[in-house]
Structure 1
Amino acid sequence: MEVLEKIFVAFSDAAWGMPLLILLMGGGFYFMFYSGFLPFRYLRHAINVLRGKYDDPNDPGDINHFEALSAALAATVGMGNISGVAVAIAIGGPGVLFWMWVSAFVGMATKFFTCSLSVMYRGYDSKGHLEGGPMYVITEGLGKKWKPLASFFAIAGLFGTLPIFQANQLTQVIREVVLEPNGLSSGDAFYTNLTIGLALVLITSLVIFGGIKRIGHVAGKMVPGMVVLYMLAVFYIMFAYYTNIPDAFALIFTDAFTAESVLGGAVGAIIIAGARRAAFSNEAGIGTASMMHGAAKTDEPIREGLVAMLGPFIDTIVVCTLTGLAIILTGTWQTSGASGVTMTATAFNNAMPGIGSYVLVLCVMIFAFTSLFSYSYYGTKCFSFLFGAKYKHLYNYFYVTTIVFGATATITAVIALIDGMYAMMAIPTMVSALLLSPKVKAAAKDYFKRMREFRVESEFKEKPEKV
């Protein structure tokens, strides 16, 4: 296992070099300026689309706008927000949070382009079912000669969307916060982890074998509640430590450009750390959300892009910031030698002695399970593209099996493998989006022109049947 861990770490470090940072961050800035800051100009319209104002049950697709965003958020608003932020602060100090914010803002523009393309260039699987995602954007938008790039994405997606990180951190928090303090652990960490992993396999299987409609339905019910619960818990921490809030934000901004606390002034390293954790958390430019939003019931690509761009804001600007503040305000990042979810649990317990860690366990369970459910959909789409739709159900058996691996492996090995595969997925996703960006800009120009005409027309009659 130790040798495998070293291989994964070397692979991840090599993948997340400056070229990938330029592709993700530079590409995001390009999308932002090229679109004329469109994600920020049409937030109100995006919310109206999300509310179902323009839903049409006869449009092609499987799930509505709200379910698409909820299912995408079920994957992104997960352990990356609770554990991933703690890992980032442990490695790069508080300043890493600033670079996560920067990545999220440019990620909104990236999500708008990649998810608009996922509807604009949907394709059909071998069973004739309409599908979306970077592999179809590449083959339908760039042409069949680009299929090797699409296959490269799908192969990386088979492993990048495995549930091993969620399983690892959920197992850790159940064992260390619930079982061991109450004398319920077997004494052997491996067998305890294995038992928890098998239980996770059973629960996850009950949902994912029902397909995207069940996943979308479950996510639509769980995601709003889990975000509100987590926000309330951190708001309590902020209230308890309100005198530290100005200093916390000052520390985030100053440390972002010095990184003296951990990295000895290696600002480039802290930027990469922030970009890695932001990409892991909100997945902008990685391509996973494109697969989910490509299943939305709509024939207007720009609408889905507008809905999708809300993801990085909710995920990183809101939820990741809350986690970071809980860790910084309580001083846990300096006093705790732990990393990952244990550091966050310590912060909660410092603020709410006796119950804080249990509140976090409840949040973690909801966050982790919704991620476990949604990630399987991504993997089955990649498997279907490579081997045919009639075999895609086989991937779910592989998927649930790896939950056991995630529950028993080290967090270092798990994060390194997922990080490396995310880097590989980002290359075809960003390259195809950059090449096809003029198509999105033209479609946006046409869409908003029709929307203006709709508003003028609506002054004379109640509402046209379709825009």
Structure 2
Amino acid sequence: MNHSLYNFLQTIDNLIWGPPLLLLLVGTGVYFTFRLGAIQLSKLPLALSYVFKKEEGVKGNGDVSSFAALCTALSATIGTGNIVGVATALKLGGPGALFWMWMAALFGMATKYAECLLAVKYREKDAKGNMLGGPMLYLEKGAGKKWLARLFAFFTIGVACFGIGTFPQVNAIVDASYIAFHIPHEITAIVLTILVAAVTIGGIKSIAGLASKVIPTMTVVYVTACVGILINNAGAIPSAISLIVESAFTGQAASGGFVGATIMMAIQAGVARGVFSNESGLGSAPMAAASAQTNSCVRQGLISMVGTFLDTIVICSMTGLALVLTGVWSMDIEGAKMTTEAFSLGLNEGFGPIIVAIGLMFFAFTTILGWNYYGERCVVYLFGERAVLVYKLVFVLLVLSGAFIKLDMIWLIADIVNGLMAVPNLIGLILLRHVVAEETRLYFAALKERVTGSEESTQVKA
């Protein structure tokens, strides 16, 4: 029975994550890239400056700072996908998969900008005075599709409780703590459950506060370790980049433990894992963006697209280059063991694996917190504030049980619900594409006027 159920779920997963959804995801990003004048490239310096610059006059208009909202979104995206997902992509599609991850991220930045812009534009306050926003709100209020909004919220709760939000992350944490520090699974599971309960009871401010400290710190530590591998293998970097680009368009012959990949395998693995890692188009990050203290939906859209840049262009690239430079991608190992081996070879046999283990533990923990918040927002939308406590209790119990569940079936269910969650959101983005374009046009026209007026005022004073 289990075997036939697994095969049935595998068939559904292949259908959902087949070319149509991948084309829809990437195609939406391509459309917004051209419609908005390659905003992810032309306005990236401005977006980066906004991340660290406080907006004036936003008190009361949001729950947390724009930076904290970005960190909350990053807490859900920077996780096992950056460490394990990249390894999986290269195992399936060869070094060329990394190139297609870059392409998915490049166009995904435009998608992330659009969905987070809409989240702030259509957000509203819930019964407790907290901001409620995301695809469910812009599907209902903007696109007038309440049934799609409810469908999105339902799938998101599924992902939070039974997918990315719990079991894979819990499993990564208990495994990493056992491998690196020999802590029994049961002890890790209990401590983790207590920590998750303590943080999530505090709500978005508690989650955002922790994410604002953990995410920047761990990102710097992990990227620094990757840079160490790059420095130790500096002479091989040009040939590694050449191999990545060539493999993207020619496929990769089998070598060592690697089975060989076609161009299509490289594209599919790279795009799918890229989307899993940065979640552009899935509709998750807009729920965090909606909590930001801001007066401008465009400004928050720009800040939010930085998340995709950091997640994939920076962190996933570092992991991918480490795997290619050390030659681990072609060895007969997979998943977290690949990344652990790369760090062991590239840095130090004792120090390298500990960095991977600690990175996995912290990134996976913040992913649990981020998805807990996303699930909560959807529970509030569907059932109201009265259901939040029940949701949090169920979520905490699922975290506890996650350490003892086999993952093959769970990853399949997570993949399926994740894909289903993306469909209503992408429909909403397409229906509201003109709203995104008009808001963008008005914002930059007003910004240009302010700059021109400021320059004229300076000239008059001179």
TM-score normalised per structure 2: 0.92
Aligned equivalents of 1:99, 1:305: Cα separation in 2: 24
Alpha-carbon distance, 1:297 to partner = 0.9
Q: Do the aligned partners of 1:87 and 1:340 also contact (CA within 8 Å) in 2?
A: yes
Q: How does 1:89-104 map onto structure 2 within 5 Å?
A: 89-104=90-105
Kindly tell me: are residues 74 and 130 of structure 1, through their superposed partners in 2, closer, same or farther at Cα, counting changes over 3 Å?
closer
* Code of the aligned partner of 2:174: T
5 Å-filtered alignment, 1:398-413, equals 398-413=394-409
Query: Is the Cα contact below 8 Å between 2:289 and 2:300 reproduced in 1?
Result: yes
2:322 to 316, 319, 326: 326
Unaligned runs of 5+ in 1: 185-191, 463-467
Q: Which amino acid aligns with 1:347?
A: A
Tell me if the contact between 1:59 and 1:299 (Cα under 8 Å) persists in the aligned partners. no
Residue in 2 aligned with 1:210?
A: 202
Query: How many angstroms apart in 2 are the aligned matches of 1:238 and 1:38?
Result: 30
Paired with 1:74 and 1:85, the residues of 2 have a C-alpha distance of 17
- Equivalent residue runs for 1:338-353 within 5 Å: 339-351=334-346, 352-353=348-349
Indicate the residue corresponding to 1:437 in structure 2. Answer: 433
Residues 30-429 of structure 1: pairs in structure 2 closer than 5 A? 30-125=31-126, 129-143=130-144, 146-161=145-160, 162-179=165-182, 192-260=184-252, 261=254, 266-337=262-333, 339-351=334-346, 352-429=348-425
Aligned residue runs from structure 1 range 8-19, under 5 A: 8-19=9-20
Aligned-residue offset at 1:52:
2.5
CA distance in 2 between partners of 1:433 and 1:411 (Å): 33
Residues 127/358 of structure 1: CA separation in 2 closer, same or farther (3 Å cut):
closer
SS across alignment from 2:432: helix
Q: Which amino acid is the alignment partner of residue 436 of structure 1?
A: L
Contact 1:55 1:64 in 2 (8 A): no
CA contact (8 A) 2:6 2:409 kept: yes
User: Is this contact kept in 2: 1:122–1:130, CA < 8 A?
Assistant: yes
Question: Does structure 1 conserve the Cα–Cα contact (< 8 Å) formed by 2:167 and 2:407?
Answer: no
Partners of 1:252 and 1:411 lie apart in 2 by 30
Q: 1:100 to 1:332 in 2, by over 3 A?
A: same
Quote how far apart the aligned CAs of 1:171 are.
Answer: 1.9
Equivalent-residue separation in structure 2 for 1:10 and 1:197 (angstroms): 32
Write the letter of the residue equivalent to 1:43.
L
Residues in 1 aligned to 2:57 and 2:169: alpha-carbon distance in whole angstroms: 35
1:385-441 CA-to-partner distances (Å, cap 9, x unmatched) read 111122123212222222244323344333322222121111111110111011111
Taking a change above 3 Å as real, the CA distance of residues 49 and 322 of structure 1, as seen in their structure-2 partners, is: same
Task: Assess if the C-alpha contact under 8 Å between 2:100 and 2:270 holds in 1.
Answer: yes
Asked if the contact 1:49/1:55 (under 8 Å) is kept, the reply is no
Q: CA RMSD in A?
A: 2.0
- Offset at 1:166? 1.3
Distance 2:8 2:197 in 1: 30
* Preserved CA contact (<8 Å) 1:79 1:368: yes
- Percentage of matched positions with identical amino acids: 36
- Residue 229 of structure 1 deviates from its aligned partner by 0.3
Q: Is the 8 A contact 1:12 1:420 kept in 2?
A: yes
Deviations 1:219-257 (A, max 9, x none): 111111111101110111111122222222122112222
Q: TM-score, structure 1 length as denominator?
A: 0.91
Give SS of 1:61's match.
Answer: coil
**1:197 to partner: Cα distance:** 2.4
Deviation at 1:45, TM superposition (A): 2.0
Q: Which amino acid aligns with 1:444?
A: T
State the alpha-carbon separation in 1 of the partners of residues 6 and 173 from structure 2.
20
CA deviation profile, 1:293-341 (whole Å, cap 9, x unmatched): 011111211001110111111000100011111112112222242x222
2:105–2:274 Cα contact (<8 Å) kept: yes
Once residues 41 and 59 of structure 2 are traced to their aligned partners in structure 1, the CA distance between those partners, rounded to angstroms, is 30
Q: CA deviation at 1:53?
A: 3.9
Q: Distance in 1 between matches of 2:115 and 2:277?
A: 17
Query: What is the CA-CA distance between 1:130 and the residue it aligns to?
Result: 3.2
Paired residues of 2:77 and 2:279 also in contact (CA < 8 A)? yes
Superposed CA offset, 1:440-460 (max 9, x none): 111111111111121233346
Aligned length: 448
CA-to-partner distance for each residue in 1:6-38, whole Å, 9 max, x for gaps? 454333222101110111011110010011112
> Deviation at 1:40?
1.4
